[in-house]
A and B are shown apart, each in its own frame.
Chain A
């Protein structure tokens, strides 16, 4: 019943967001229906486009799953973007230095990504628990530091032979690439997608069926009373940071070893911040993360077609995503307010 009551305002909000998008396209003089159908065609129109969408889905799933953990602990992990970047840097380091066949290097890059992301998240965690720095600002600061390190590596120590440019490092040797599976004439990102889905499943089980998850949620709901009840609050917060950061770091691994095959300055692809939108829209629930993340990457991947075919800026996809989240939040809040009004009018005859 509550689900049904939530569904109506959500659908109304989605429709309102779509209307907003159409109006925006009319403002810049673009054909709205052609543009919207290009979004669908650009993300699911052919085998290679579906493969590209699935490849983009994976890091978003990983980062979103990590955020579900930190949100459950009541943390605003804005540092997720930096954790993706540090995961990518650590994975790049392994891909560059570790010799041997793929079954050695690829797991190595995944492990390194997890460690890189976890270390960076723990830094924000210790700043919060021991340094009095709120995780929003500590995390935000560390995002920029991580981006600075990535840029420094690309134009400095890891620059391509001869030229120092911001276009990226040398391509990794092929053994370090995440393997693809050939079918229908294109390569399919089976390993990244499995990693992404496994991370969502892991988080779902962790929060639903374990003592750790139960205690984590209680720390998130009321950290002071959890502390009084004998839960080591700081340890749980740091645990959430480490786990969330590790998953975000693996998202970074996917970005370097399955997508770019090298380190570039903007390696995160904005998936960390996009994941925050996904989790906000999913209402912090792990089960809803997978379909919403797929919907959002479809918009992102599809919107690149707007640039190619209609000469529009591909930022339209980001506008649509933002408006959807904003309107759904507003729709829910309006519905809640109306419900409380009608309740109070019923109580007072």
Chain B
């Protein structure tokens, strides 16, 4: 499979380039959800958040004529939905799965209803921005550094999330409130307040991912635009065992599947309809696999890889912390 003639090399280069670009919104959304879930809250509304933020991003960018304004408003929309979930769980003691599910359906329909008049319009887009010098490196330059700000933001999201979780003190606190909120509270940490803000932060990232879809990947607004991106991001967080690098790996794998499906479309006509389903059985298989005793022993065999191989959900995920 090693390309020998230069034309083959170009195709491989372009394919990898488009995989990186296709995965970018998914990576931003799933990093946001990873942060939220690590703090112990599940934001189930991702599919709705992404659709509503994609629609509002397009509407605002269309009115203002500026893509950046669209991204800003989309982040606010995502953050607001997340804030509703966090408040109703922490402040009102409502079930966060229930509220998240209702908001999913509500935001999906709200996006369809309010976005109806924007279907088919053309709006501004994110301009390409090859990084000087780096993009001149053979192969790697073209694949990694010949993109736009959304894609670079996805790199930053992966790196920053990983570094924050495993190399900083607030990151350790974040894991603490998701694993043992009582212990964190006993050490004087404002568990519920932190959870609220991490949920809002994660929601804002989800909103940015929505904007990335309507202003970069697909350009424009229509109901089926985001193709279950929100549900897929939720699946990716679990597939990746709440570890930023594994989550990113899952997202690139899915990006590869998407690009492959697009290219195989002419050969197998059904493939573009069936392949988008692939992340879901993969997620289920991954969950069954990591639950098996064999996988559980891996962590103890390779202590240095324990973080990466660990697959337990944050112990206090989805529960409400109340001090007695």
Chain B's interface size range is 35 or more
When distances are taken between beta carbons in the complex, the residues of chain B under 8 Å from A133 are 284, 287-288, 291
**Chain B residues within an 8 Å CB radius of A152:** 270, 273-274
Cβ contact within 8 Å between A141 and B116:
no
Q: Interface on A for B, CB 8 Å cutoff?
A: 24, 27-28, 76, 78, 127, 131-133, 136-138, 140-145, 147-148, 151-152, 155-156, 164, 166, 273-274, 276-277, 280, 312-313, 315-319, 321-323, 325-326, 329-330, 333-334, 336-337
Residues of chain A within 8 A (CB-CB) of B270 are 152, 155-156
Of the residues A132, A147, A156, A276, contact of B287 by C-beta under 8 Å: A132
Q: Which secondary structure dominates chain A's binding surface?
A: helix
A28 to B116, CA, bound (A): 10
> In the complex, A143→B270 CA distance in Å?
19
Interface residues of B in 246-284 (CB under 8 A from A): 269-270, 273-274, 277, 280-281, 283-284
A323:B106 contact, CB within 8 angstroms: yes
A155-B270, A333-B93, A333-B94 are known contacts. Are A137 and B283 too (CB-CB below 8 A)?
yes
Which residues of B, 99-114, contact A by the 8 Å Cβ criterion?
99, 101-103, 105-106, 108-110, 112-114
Q: How far is the CA of A330 from the CA of B92 in the complex (A)?
A: 8
Please list the residues of chain B having a beta carbon within 8 angstroms of any beta carbon in chain A: 44, 88, 92-94, 97-99, 101-103, 105-106, 108-110, 112-114, 116-117, 228, 231, 234-235, 238, 269-270, 273-274, 277, 280-281, 283-284, 287-288, 291
CB distance from B85 to the nearest CB of A (A): 11
Q: Using Cβ atoms and an 8 Å threshold, which residues of chain A touch B231?
A: 140, 144
Q: Is the CB of B97 within 8 A of A76?
A: yes
In the bound assembly, the distance between CA atoms of A156 and B277 in angstroms comes to 16
Residues on A with C-beta less than 8 A from B117 are 28
Cα(A237)–Cα(B100), bound, Å: 24
- Give the chain B neighbours of A24 by CB distance below 8 A: 113
Query: Which residue, of A312, A316, A317, has the highest number of chain B Cβ atoms within 10 A?
Result: A316
Q: Specify which of B44, B269, B283 is in contact with A164 (CB 8 Å cutoff).
A: B269
**Which of B94, B97, B280 has its CB near the most chain A CB atoms (within 10 A)?**
B280
Distance in angstroms between the alpha carbons of A312 and B112 in the assembled complex: 10
Q: Is the CB of A326 within 8 A of B102?
A: yes
CA–CA, A337 and B112, complex, Å? 34
- Can you offer 14 A-B residue contacts whose CB atoms are under 8 A? A27-B114, A131-B287, A132-B287, A132-B288, A141-B281, A144-B228, A151-B274, A152-B270, A273-B105, A280-B98, A280-B102, A315-B112, A318-B106, A326-B103
